[in-house]
Chains A and B, each alone.
Chain A
Amino acid sequence: MNSWIRSLVMPVEGTAYAHRVDNLYLFLIYVCIFFFLLVTGLLAAFVIKYRRRSADDRTPQITHHRGLEVAWTVVPLALVMLIFFWGLRTFVQAAVAPADAEEIHVTARQWMWQFEYPNGVRAINELHVPLDKPVKLIMTSEDVIHGFYVPTFRLKQDVLPDAYTQIWFTATDPGVHILECTQYCGKGHSQMLGKIYVDDPASYRKWLATGGEAGKGVPPVQWGRTIYETRGCATCHSIDGAPGQGPSFKGVFGHPVALVGGRSMIADENYIRTCILTPDKNRVAGFPPIMPTFQGILNNRDIDGVIAFIKSLE
């Protein structure tokens, strides 16, 4: 029964904390089912048993019953107090991160997540964390409020502009977990997703050391597509000519583009590189200035890949 309800309504438990939350959640579900059945059961019984049988039905004058009224005030009160303290205990246990937690900085902006590791490695929409090791995220936003939500970790925290908020966890389920933005932030809100890779310590160290080296041996066009899909480009730039928050990549390569200020440039390799690293320098006319710089986030091979990928979109 328990495991059936868990699998029916709850996501996978990605942390030990998630399991503790679920225990409480499961208890609450049972409490709710009990009271729901109590109310609807009585309702159904009364509706059937006491339905009007004749127009002259008479009914007893029952105005109140002290004992009953005290009971249905005090018993639920005791029950919700139990729930409160159980919730408080679980909440407090998870309030403070262990001192040895690995610190990762998170910067949210419309509409992507950027992660920066202690050694300076950066990544977009892709967070690698070590298995069974506490990780503390220190988060801030560059524009509006965002929400950092990992359903499988049962964790959520708003990310505020000009302030830091924190969240911590010890991931116990190796594999990939979904990160979602939960504070409404505009057009790309529902695309502001990320992936959390829970790596065993050895692959985590390897990833940290070679953070920028991933994708070695992959053809540039294919690597460029991976970058396009995983680093947030796809949120604003379509590859099928559909309009978006930024210009579509389809068929732009080698063609002139109209820029803000009435200038025009040919979209060649240098133009695309400049756009990725200093977006406001040659901004395309008709689009808002929201593209962030990818300086220090994408390395040369990543950028080469993106250029090759755009080239391939005839």
Chain B
Amino acid sequence: MADVLELPVAPNPPQPPRVHYLNQTRGIRSWLFTVDHKRIGVMYLASILFAFLLGGVFAMIVRLKLLTPGPSFITAETYNKIFTLHGAVMIFLFVIPSIPAALGNFVLPLMLGAKDVAFPRLNLASLYLYWTGSLLALVAMVTGGIDTGWTFYTPYSTSTQGSVGLMVLGVFIIGFSSIFTGINFIATIHKLRAPGMTWWNMPLFVWSIYATSIIQIVATPVLGITLLLLLMERLFMVGIFDPKLGGDPVLFQHFFWFYSHPAVYIMILPGMAVISEVIPVFSRKTIFGYKAIAYSSMAIALVSFLVWGHHMFVSGQSQVASAVFSFLTFLVAIPSGVKVFNWLATMYKGSISFEAPMLYAISFLVLFSIGGLTGIILGTLPVDVHLHDTYFVVAHFHFVMMGGTVMAFLAGLHYWWPKMFGRMYSEKWARVSAALIFVGFNVTFLSQFVLGSKGMPRRYYNYLPQFQPLHVFSTFGSWMLALGFLIMAAYLAVSLRKPMDAPANPWGALGLEWTASSPPITHNFEQVPLVTHGPYDYSAPVQQPALQGAGR
């Protein structure tokens, strides 16, 4: 990444090259020891994109194997390791840090009109922890691998061979990176808002990230403790989860989901955060129901802690507990639905334009609706008993995580790319890629709803012949997805090699980050911004003559 960024900025003869955060200091050390939130965000971005590539390659191998039932180019053991790595890499190395740590790090202080996050060194420490944890996870992959599934269910995970211990340690360390980021963001939001920015005047991105940070701080330690207990059992034979040592395997599931269900909201709330920014800008319209969206983020953060048992309807937990968890699960569906209606209402009577960020936001609305609605099906007790651990759950999860979070991440990436690197990408190729990704995604995962409903269990190397046509269909979709992402990688890389051409405010947006130049200077703003209007006062085209061209 670094060497691409250090290409000389094409000189614009009459003016000397502008100084900004990318070129103010040079060399690898200036990046590794930086405390600039923008550089840390960019390094996070490069790291999670690498993780996404890795997880994507694993996904392609899984789908390729599933073209045919029975023996294939990989053995069952290899297949089990690959689907485990796909899940673990995508969740712990990519989705969780994607929007908060990469995009959030870059834009949150800018949106607040701050020079940096509250604890810049803690921010760098969180990146180092992420790298350390990821490195351990990579070492675990090449030394023996792991075949437990990303859920690490005991007693299988305490009895199987392979580098489970190393992987678990890696995830444990990444968890702390997530906690550090959460603490940092909460402090930043409380203390570093620009003059005039009240709580009810903050961009909704900030509200959502605030809710996310609360979950990160409260839930992640539980994952840490659980993983430590798992390590103690594997290394020192302390009986906690393994019945042979006097433990209880279902206890692990309770601990694990007590983190991992809120973690689903750690993953989706930042996605909702991006969508709440993009839709008003490209609809040129005030956000509808600002307070409802803000409150629904906080409601989700709260209720998300009370629904973990819906992952365990068939685990042997008491039937009364299952009933209570089903009830609470339906409650958590409501705030998500409210948000979708609010975004739709925002578009009503708007002036909608279709640049790449908006295309991904529209994809998000369609796909997240399917993900959310199928969640209602899965929250219903007797229907979940049938669908649990089948491809229906796989499809639902991907519609929420990929159709939701990843689409929102792509919307955010395209939205803030000009701000981050000072360059516009090819809008034409961005549209081609968005179309391929949208169609490819649906081909890949809609078919999996039917597969699961018909009784195809997940994590199966082999399957009954009657399931083959739908598996083939799904695999075709995965190739379309891969092509879409390759095109995206190409046009984004190309954009980095051309001269900086992005204006300070290419989308006509009102967020404070667009009053900084593109790319911003190291201290973000020439002078402390004063907030005099709401973040979404979009009734007319945004005219900021003083700013146009200021960042060239």
Contacts and interface: CB of A to CB of B under 8 A. Distances in A.
Interface of A: 8-11, 20-21, 24-25, 28-29, 31-32, 35-36, 39-40, 42-43, 46-47, 50-53, 55-65, 68-69, 72-73, 76-77, 80-81, 83-84, 86-88, 90-92, 94-95, 143-145, 147, 149, 151-152, 154-158, 160-163, 165, 178, 180-191, 242
Contact of B386 (A76, A156, A189): A156
A232 to B, nearest CB: 15
Contacts of A190: 76, 457, 459-463
A219 B36 CA distance: 79
Contact of B366 (A40, A65, A185): A40
Contacts of A184: 80, 148-149, 153, 156, 458-459
B351 to A, nearest CB: 3
Contacts of B349: 50, 59-60, 62
Given A10-B453, A11-B455, A43-B347, A189 B461 contact: yes
Nearest to B537: A61
Closest 4 interchain pairs by CB? Answer: A151-B455, A57-B351, A162-B243, A190-B460
A64 B292 contact: yes
Interface stretch (B183-191, B325-333, B401-409, B419-427): B325-333
Interface in B377-399: 377, 379-383, 385-386, 388-390
Contacts of A20: 382
A50 B289 contact: no
A83 B330 contact: yes
27 contacts: A8-B450, A9-B454, A28-B383, A32-B373, A39-B369, A46-B347, A52-B284, A59-B286, A59-B351, A59-B539, A62-B286, A62-B349, A76-B334, A76-B337, A84-B330, A84-B379, A91-B319, A91-B322, A94-B382, A151-B386, A154-B382, A156-B389, A161-B243, A163-B243, A180-B455, A188-B76, A191-B462
Given A60-B349, A61-B539, 12 more contacts: A10-B453, A32-B374, A36-B370, A40-B369, A46-B350, A57-B284, A61-B537, A84-B379, A156-B388, A180-B457, A182-B457, A184-B458
Contacts of A86: 380
B457 A55 contact: no
A141 to B, nearest CB: 9
B288 interface: yes
Nearest to A11: B455
Interface in B300-352: 314-316, 319, 322-323, 326-327, 330-331, 333-334, 337-338, 340-341, 344-345, 347-352
A152 B454 CA distance: 9
Contacts of A81: 330
Contact of A43 (B159, B362, B389, B458): B362
Given A64-B288, A185-B156, A158 B539 contact: no
Interface string B264-307: 00000000000000000001111111111000000000000000
Contact of A187 (B77, B316, B354, B540): B77
Interface string B442-465: 000000011001110111111110
Nearest to A39: B369
Interface in B401-444: none
Contacts of A191: 462
Contacts of A51: 351-354
A64 B383 contact: no
Given A87-B382, A147-B389, A46 B80 contact: no
Given A76-B337, A189-B461, A84 B352 contact: no
A64 B290 contact: yes
Contact of A152 (B287, B334, B455, B462): B455
B160 interface: yes
A36 B373 contact: yes
B466 to A, nearest CB: 10
A160 B370 contact: no
Contact of A165 (B288, B316, B323): B316
A149 B455 CA distance: 9
A81 B333 CA distance: 11
A87 B380 contact: yes
Most buried by A among B250, B377, B385: B385
The residue among A86, A143, A186, A188 with the most chain B CB atoms within 10 A of its own CB is A186
Nearest to A53: B351
A30 to B, nearest CB: 11
Instruction: Name the residue in A20, A155, A162 with the highest tally of chain B Cβ atoms < 10 Å from its Cβ.
Output: A162
A7 to B, nearest CB: 10
Contacts, number: 254
B223 to A, nearest CB: 20
Contacts of B389: 147, 149, 156, 182-183
A79 to B, nearest CB: 9
B309 to A, nearest CB: 14
Contact of B316 (A39, A46, A144, A163): A163
B94 interface: no
A72 B334 CA distance: 9
A160 B250 contact: yes
A28 B537 CA distance: 39
Given A39-B369, A154-B385, A80 B330 contact: yes
Contacts of B383: 21, 24-25, 28, 87
B233 interface: no
A187 B454 CA distance: 23
A47 B454 contact: no
Contact of A95 (B155, B319, B457, B461): B319
Contacts of A72: 337-338, 341
A69 B380 contact: no
A130 B247 CA distance: 37
B541 interface: yes
A92 B180 CA distance: 45
Given A21-B382, A28-B383, A40-B366, A77 B334 contact: yes
B462 A80 contact: no
B345 A68 contact: yes
A158 B366 contact: no
Contacts of B354: 51
A154 B352 contact: no
A69 to B, nearest CB: 6
B147 interface: yes
Contacts of B352: 46-47, 50-52
B376 interface: yes
A242 B458 CA distance: 25
B385 A156 contact: yes
A88 B385 CA distance: 12
A92 B77 CA distance: 40
A84 B327 contact: yes
B365 interface: yes
A28 B463 contact: no
Nearest to A68: B345
B538 interface: yes
Contacts of A151: 386, 454-455
Contacts of A187: 76-77, 80
A213 B327 CA distance: 50
A188 B314 CA distance: 21
A135 B450 CA distance: 29
